[in-house]
Amino acid sequence: MTVTVRFAPSPTGKLHVGNVRAALWNWLFARQSGGKFILRIDDTDRERSTKAYEDLIRTDLAWLGLFDDDSVRQSARFDQYDAAVEKLKSLGLLYACYETSEELDRKRKLQRARSLPPVYDRAGLAYSQDQIEQFEAEGRKPHWRFKLSHKPIEWNDLIRGHTVVDTVSVSDPVLIREDGQYLYTLPSCVDDMELKITHVIRGEDHVTNTAVQIELIRALKGEPPAFAHHSLLIGADGHGLSKRFGALSIEAMRDDGLEAAAITSHLAKLGTSDPVVPESDLDRLAEGFDFAKMGRAPARFDMAELEAINARLLHETDYESVSDRLDALGVSKPLWDVVRGNILRLDEAAEWRDVVEGEINPDIEDAAFLKQAAELVPDDPLTGESWAQFTSALKEKTGVKGKNLFMPLRIALTGRARGPEMALLFPLIGSVKARSRLAGDKS
Ligand code: GLU
C-alpha cells in the first residue's frame, strides 16, 4: 500500500496558519512514509471559487516547500460525481427534498423549542406523488439528501483514538443543491476513493463529516481511508483564529518578511509534545512526524512565538543558503555573519548595511569625549582585536569606563543603542568612517 494523502483547500480564500497546518502534516506524513501528497482543489462552489485564490494556494505551498506529487481540480471531475449519484439513486440512498431554507429553519426552531435535536425529519422520504407534482408546479427544484443508516459509525482515529458518531443524531446530508451544484461531501468521497487516498488528516471540525463520509464510501462500495483529526488552533488569547485570518494568511506572513521555514518549524510542532525548534530541513521535520505525539487540546498560535522562531532560525542561517536574497539586499557574507544574530527578519540586515556603509544620524551627547576617541582609532585594516585595543587606549586616556565608555561609542558609530557586538562591527565600519563619525562629521 502506498501511503496517499491529500490536502483539499477550497479556492475561496487565502491559506492561513490553520489550514496550512493540515497541509503540512499531510505532507510530512507522506514524506515520512515514502508516499504521495495530492493537492485537491475543492472548487465545486462555482460562485465563490476563483482562479486567483487557486494560484495563490499553489504559490504559498511552493514557497513553504510543500510541493505536490499530483494535483486535481474537482470542477474537472463532474462525470465521476454524476456516476456516483446514479449509483446512490439506484440503491435508494439518495432522495429528493423540496423544503426551502426558510422552511428548514422553521423546522429547526420548532425542534429546539421542544428540546429536540435539530435533525432533519426525513419528510422528503414520505412525499406522495401529488405533493411532488404540487412542488414542481410551484416551480420548486429538489435538493438531494443521502439517507444515513442511523447506526453508530466507529473508527480508530490516529489522533483521537476510538471514535464513535451515531448517525441518528446527524441530519441526512444534502449532497446536491436545488441549483444542481454539488456540496463538498459527495465529491470528496468519490475523490478519496478514486485517488486511493489511504489517510485523511484534517481538523477535528470534520469529525461528524467523517461518519457521514464513511457511510457514503461504503454505500459506493469503497473502503474508507484511515482518519486522523487534529485539534484546531486558537489565538494566544484563547479565542478562535477565524476573525484574524487576514493577518494570519501565509501571503501576509511572506509579505511581512517571515521565513517559510519558521512557519513550517512552528506549525509542525505546535500542538504536539515536541518542543518547537528552528528546522530549515523539511525532511528532518518529516522524520519526527508522529501521530502519537499530537495532543487533543486546542493548540495556541502566538505570533510572538513564530517571530521568536524566525529570529532563532536566522541566527543559524548560513550565508550560502540565503545568498540570493542577501545579494538583492546588498548584504555581504561578513556583514551577514555579524548581524544575523541580531535581527528578527532577514531584510533587517539591509538596515545594518546602511549602518555600516551609509549615513547615520546619531544623537551625540559628549562631543569632546568622542573627539578624543576619534584620535585613537587604529588604522585600517581593523581586525577582531582592534576594538579591544581601541577601547582600552581610550579608557586609559580618559579614565572613562564601563557603560559610560561603550554606549557613547556605540551610538556615535552606529546611530543605535543596541546591535551586534562592536568588536565585530568595528572592522566592517573601518577606520576612516569610524573616525569621521566620532569626530562628528556628517557620515
Ligand atoms: N475543502 C474542504 C475544506 O477545506 C476539505 C476538507 C477535507 O479535508 O476533506 O474544509
pLDDT digits (tens, 9 = 90+) for 154-207: 999 999 999 999 999 999 999 999 999 999 999 999 999 999 999 999 999 999
Judge whether residue 1 has pLDDT over 90.
Answer: no
Q: Is residue 48 part of a domain?
A: yes
Which pLDDT value is given to residue 243? 65
β-strand pairing of 94-97 with 143-146 = antiparallel
Q: Could you tell me the end-to-end alpha-carbon distance of the chain, in angstroms, rounded to an integer? A: 67
Residue 441 pLDDT level (bands cut at 50, 70, 90)? confident
Exposed/middle/buried for 417, CB within 10 Å: 0-12, 13-18, 19+? exposed
Which pLDDT value is given to residue 429? 97
CA-nearest residue, atom 6 of ligand 1: 8
Helix axes 51-64, 17-32, angle to 10 degrees: 50
Q: Is residue 170 part of a domain?
A: yes
- Both 249 and 307 in one domain: the answer is yes
What average pLDDT does this structure show over 58-66?
98
Q: Tell which wins on pLDDT, 300 or 243.
A: 300
Q: Is residue 404 part of a domain?
A: yes
Query: Alpha-carbon Rg of the chain, whole angstroms?
Result: 31
Q: Tell which wins on pLDDT, 243 or 103.
A: 103
- Both 252 and 309 in one domain: the answer is yes
Q: How far is ligand 1, taken at its centre, from the CA of residue 192, in Å?
A: 11
Atom number in ligand 1 closest to CA 188: 9
Atom number in ligand 1 closest to CA 192: 9
Q: Is residue 430 part of a domain?
A: yes
- Both 250 and 287 in one domain: the answer is yes
Number of domains in the chain: 5
Judge whether residue 349 has pLDDT over 60.
Answer: yes
Q: Is residue 362 part of a domain?
A: no
Q: Is residue 146 part of a domain?
A: yes
CA atoms within 13 A on the CB side of 369: 19
Q: Which of 230-234, 242-246, 320-324, 425-429 has the lowest mean pLDDT?
A: 242-246
Q: Tell which wins on pLDDT, 363 or 355.
A: 355
Contact 199, 225 (CB under 8 A): yes
What average pLDDT does this structure show over 204-225?
98
Q: Give the domain CATH number at 287.
A: 1.10.1160.10
Matching residue, cell 465521476: 80
**What is the domain extent for residue 124?**
80-152+161-176
Q: What is the DSSP letter of 27?
A: H
The per-residue b/e assignment along 259-298, b for 16 or more CB within 10 angstroms, e otherwise, is bbbbbbbbbbbbbbeeebebbbebeebbeebebeebeeeb
Residue 442 pLDDT level (bands cut at 50, 70, 90)? low
- Both 202 and 191 in one domain: the answer is yes
- Both 66 and 188 in one domain: the answer is yes
381 preceded by cis ω (within 30°)? yes
In degrees, to the nearest 5, what angle opens at C-alpha 335 toward C-alphas 400 and 350?
Answer: 100
Q: How far is ligand 1, taken at its centre, from the CA of residue 426, in Å?
A: 55
The whole-chain average pLDDT of the chain stands at 96
Report residue 15 as a C-alpha cell: 491559506
Q: What is the per-residue pLDDT across 81-137, written as a single tens digit (0 to 9) for each?
A: 999 999 999 999 999 999 999 999 999 999 999 999 999 999 999 999 999 999 999
Asked if residue 209 has its Cβ within 6 Å of ligand 1, the reply is no
Asked if residue 348 has its Cβ within 6 Å of ligand 1, the reply is no
- Both 104 and 18 in one domain: the answer is no
- Both 295 and 418 in one domain: the answer is no
Sign, Cα dihedral of 125, 130, 133, 138: negative
- Both 61 and 18 in one domain: the answer is yes
Residues above pLDDT 90, as percent of the chain: 94
Residue 76 pLDDT level (bands cut at 50, 70, 90)? very high
Residue 363 pLDDT level (bands cut at 50, 70, 90)? confident
Q: Is residue 75 part of a domain?
A: no
What average pLDDT does this structure show over 208-231?
98
- Both 295 and 260 in one domain: the answer is yes
Residue 381 pLDDT level (bands cut at 50, 70, 90)? very high
Q: How far is ligand 1, taken at its centre, from the CA of residue 159, in Å?
A: 18
Helix or strand (DSSP H, E) at 99: none
- Both 270 and 303 in one domain: the answer is yes
pTM reported for the whole predicted model = 0.93
- Both 104 and 130 in one domain: the answer is yes
Exposed/middle/buried for 328, CB within 10 Å: 0-12, 13-18, 19+? exposed
Asked if residue 202 has its Cβ within 6 Å of ligand 1, the reply is yes
Closest CA to 116 of 75, 168, 78: 168
Please enumerate in sequence order all residues whose Cβ is within 8 A of that of 316, keeping only pairs 6 or more positions apart, or say none. 278, 280
- Both 139 and 198 in one domain: the answer is no
The sheet carrying 94-97 orders its strands as: 94-97, 143-146, 174-176
Which pLDDT value is given to residue 247? 74
Please enumerate in sequence order all residues whose Cβ is within 8 A of that of 9, keeping only pairs 6 or more positions apart, or say none. 15, 19, 23, 41, 42, 57
Q: CA-CA distance, 408 to 392, in Å (whole number)?
A: 15
What does the DSSP assignment read for 370-420? HHHHHHHPPPSSP-TTHHHHHHHHHHHHH---HHHHHHHHHHHHHSSSS-S
Asked if residue 410 has its Cβ within 6 Å of ligand 1, the reply is no
Atom number in ligand 1 closest to CA 6: 8
**What CA–CA distances, in Å, run from 380 to 85, 323, 426?**
81, 27, 11
Residue 313 φ then ψ, to 5°: -65, -45
Q: Is residue 443 part of a domain?
A: no
Asked if residue 188 has its Cβ within 6 Å of ligand 1, the reply is yes
Out of 200, 202, 213, mutate this one to test ligand 1's pocket (max ligand atoms within 8 Å of CB): namely: 202
Which pLDDT value is given to residue 240? 82
Q: Give the domain CATH number at 120.
A: 3.90.800.10
